[in-house]
Amino acid sequence: MNEAQATEAQSAQPSAHGRSLYRRHRPRSFAELVGQEPIARTLANAVRLGRVHHAYLFVGSRGTGKTSTAKILAACLNCAQGPTSEPCGSCSACLGIAQGTSLDVVEMDAASNNSVEDIRELRESVAFAPAAGSFKVYILDEAHMLTSAAWNAFLKTLEEPPPRTVFVLATTEARKVPATVVDRCHRFDFRRPGAEAIIAVLRRAAEREGIEVPLEALAAIARAAAGSFRDALGTLEQIAVYSGQSVELADVLAVLGAVEEERIEALIDAVAQGDARAALIALAETLRAGNDASALAQELEERARELMLVAVLGAVPPELSLTPERDARLADQARRVPPTLATALLERLSAARAAARAGADLRTHLELALVRSADLRAGPERAQRERHAGASVDTQAPAASAPPPATGEAEGIAGDAETSAQEPTTAAPAPAGELERLQAIWPEALAAIREGNALLGALLAEASPVAGDGDLVCLAFPSSAAFSKRKAEAPEHVATVTALLRELLGHPVRVLYELRDDGAASGRGEDEEALIAHLISELDAQELPAEESR
């Protein structure tokens, strides 16, 4: 075993000094840098060609490898075989940089050393030549935390540093770094790594530590890390302490406080089937199993977002991909959950979490979000019957609602909207049951319209369903609201109402409007004045005077 192999083997063992797993398994070369290949290639070429800049700005979220990259660059410049794009990892310079003992690599945390005095000390240090290596490298973490006065004191040194001096400024918030500083640096933006990259790093660390971890457990850790290598390795270390050298998925869920994915899928499947009773039972069982309501709400919200994206995009995007098996399950569930339902559930879960942050009971709002979303899928008529007539909940899955229209079908809807607006203004009376269903869903439809288009919601505030036969829906305005009716008949407005009612009713519809009697207003009458006053009040608008004719 040569010196480099011995060093690696020693670093792979738990340190007597308690060095964390993340520090023991920092990448030591650009070849080991996962997820930032363009940056690694550019810096390696700069070293090889002798074109290293005197100042770099590394921008990226926490745990993406900014400090590790800075130390690799320092090793490349100071390696006994260098400068080289492939440091040996075994010379005194490489070992000192890896262990944090090199006198030629100075790390400074700007969060706690951000004053003018701290920068003056740094400037005095810069005046000295490298102690043992070829370059002095200054790594300034959280650089955005420096005060304005400190930046001003640092600017001259940053602009004209002594020879063989390199500054690396690392920050999570580049917008807080003065433009005069950014202009003097070569900037690199570190991408948030995907789950695949994090899994690769976890697998490498686990193999070196002798920890057995199945792929599904690594995927769960990677998902919880939210794009941070440091957090992922920290979690793996914590779990290894909990479970020993053999880690199972259940151990990961226990340490993270996460909810089993099967329970999340079952909850959303119940909603997708319009089965509010099954959703509430699944929620109660999940909480009874010891799962935290806050973690459950977050994971339900994340799953609803994933389903919305997969349903709209038609495939699992790379940023959501974990394992082939998990991706297949996600895609399969997305086929069962329409995008509109996923969107509605996402909005309601987000509102539930917001209400909990404001002091409301989270479980109550979770129950409300699930029931209202299930009712949207089941249909208002059934929901009204179950609540007000006291009937038992029908646990049979309702007929699936029509899928979102393709491009051609969407154009057909718009065409129907234009045609509907030109239909005769009197519709035949509908069967009582159908009309009752329309009237039951109208308040919810109107609320959804207001949320998406306040102007259209104001126009339809005076309308109400008066007929519905098959695919025909008729909304009536009082004769005093002729102006509102004319504005609501705009093709884009009719298309909006058509699409919404189509989703709520579960079948294609054509929408037309009529007045309750033949007294349609003409010109700007009292109804128009009243509507304008209403719009000014509701939308915080103002009426502009008509342009004078010339």
State how far Cα 86 lies from the chain centre.
37
Same fold, 3-189 and 195-256: no
Reduced to 3 states, what is the DSSP secondary structure of residue 550?
coil
507-523 pLDDT, tens digit each? 778 888 888 764 333 33
pLDDT band at 18 (very low <50, low <70, confident <90, very high): low
Structure tokens that stand for 288 in this block? 């009874």
At position 386, the amino acid (one-letter code) is E
> Does residue 269 carry a pLDDT above 90?
yes
Return the minimum-mean-pLDDT range out of 21-25, 302-306, 434-438.
434-438
CATH class for domain 410-539? alpha beta
- The whole-number pLDDT of residue 533 equals 59
Mean pLDDT for 124-134 is 81
Give the length of the chain. Answer: 550
pLDDT band at 542 (very low <50, low <70, confident <90, very high): low
H/E stretch holding 218: helix 215-225
pLDDT band at 49 (very low <50, low <70, confident <90, very high): very high
Reduced to 3 states, what is the DSSP secondary structure of residue 246?
strand
More confident call, 319 vs 138:
138
Domain extents for the chain? 3-189, 195-256, 261-378, 410-539
What's the CA gap between 89 and 50, in Å, rounded? Answer: 20
- The whole-number pLDDT of residue 534 equals 57
> Does residue 405 carry a pLDDT above 50?
no
Q: What does residue 471 show for φ and ψ, rounded to 5 degrees?
A: -95, 5
pLDDT band at 433 (very low <50, low <70, confident <90, very high): low
H/E stretch holding 277: helix 276-288
Say whether the peptide bond before residue 380 is cis (omega within 30 degrees of 0). no
- The whole-number pLDDT of residue 525 equals 44
- The whole-number pLDDT of residue 400 equals 37
Q: How would you label 415-432 residue by residue, b for 16+ Cβ within 10 Å and e otherwise?
A: ebbeebbeeeeebeebee
**Between the CA of residue 381 and those of 143, 336, 431, what are the distances in Å?**
59, 22, 14
> Does residue 419 carry a pLDDT above 50?
no
* Torsion sign across C-alpha atoms 379, 383, 386, 389: negative
Write down the mean pLDDT value for the chain: 79
What's the CA gap between 411 and 449, in Å, rounded? Answer: 20
- Residue in 225, 233, 243, 242 with CA at minimum distance from that of residue 208: 233
147-158 pLDDT, tens digit each? 888 888 888 888
For domain 261-378, say whether CATH 1.20.272.10 is its number. yes
> Does residue 70 carry a pLDDT above 90?
yes
Residue labelled with tokens 């990226």: 60
What's the CA gap between 30 and 28, in Å, rounded? Answer: 7
What's the CA gap between 107 and 122, in Å, rounded? Answer: 11
What's the CA gap between 393 and 275, in Å, rounded? Answer: 8
**Between the CA of residue 434 and those of 126, 304, 466, 471, what are the distances in Å?**
82, 31, 10, 11
User: Half-sphere exposure (CA, 13 Å, Cβ side) for 465?
Assistant: 26
In the chain, what are the helix, strand and coil shares in percent, each to the nearest 5? 60, 10, 35
Q: Is the pTM of this model over 0.75?
A: no
What's the CA gap between 463 and 125, in Å, rounded? Answer: 76
> Does residue 399 carry a pLDDT above 60?
no
Structure tokens that stand for 204 in this block? 């490498």
Residue labelled with tokens 């999340």: 264
- The whole-number pLDDT of residue 45 equals 94
At position 98, the amino acid (one-letter code) is A
| Count of C-beta atoms within a 10 Å radius of residue 5 | 11
- The whole-number pLDDT of residue 415 equals 39
- The whole-number pLDDT of residue 541 equals 57
Mean pLDDT for 312-334 is 86
**Between the CA of residue 342 and those of 321, 376, 409, 485, 500, what are the distances in Å?**
19, 11, 21, 32, 15
pLDDT band at 79 (very low <50, low <70, confident <90, very high): very high
> Does residue 4 carry a pLDDT above 70?
no
CA dihedral 17, 21, 27, 33 (to 10 degrees): -160
Mean pLDDT for 133-145 is 89
What's the CA gap between 36 and 129, in Å, rounded? Answer: 31
pLDDT band at 314 (very low <50, low <70, confident <90, very high): confident
* Concatenated DSSP letters of 16-78: TT---HHHHT---SGGG--S-HHHHHHHHHHHHHT---SEEEEE--TTSSHHHHHHHHHHHHH
For domain 195-256, say whether CATH 3.40.50.300 is its number. no
- The whole-number pLDDT of residue 13 equals 41
Reduced to 3 states, what is the DSSP secondary structure of residue 169?
strand
Mean pLDDT for 474-500 is 85
Return the minimum-mean-pLDDT range out of 135-144, 271-280, 416-425, 455-464.
416-425
- The whole-number pLDDT of residue 545 equals 58
> Does residue 107 carry a pLDDT above 80?
yes
Output Rg (C-alpha) for the chain, integer angstroms. Answer: 32
pLDDT band at 536 (very low <50, low <70, confident <90, very high): low
- The whole-number pLDDT of residue 540 equals 57
> Does residue 368 carry a pLDDT above 70?
yes
More confident call, 550 vs 311:
311
Mean pLDDT for 446-458 is 83
H/E stretch holding 187: strand 186-189
pLDDT band at 101 (very low <50, low <70, confident <90, very high): confident
- The whole-number pLDDT of residue 404 equals 41
CATH class for domain 3-189? alpha beta
pLDDT band at 134 (very low <50, low <70, confident <90, very high): confident
- The whole-number pLDDT of residue 530 equals 57
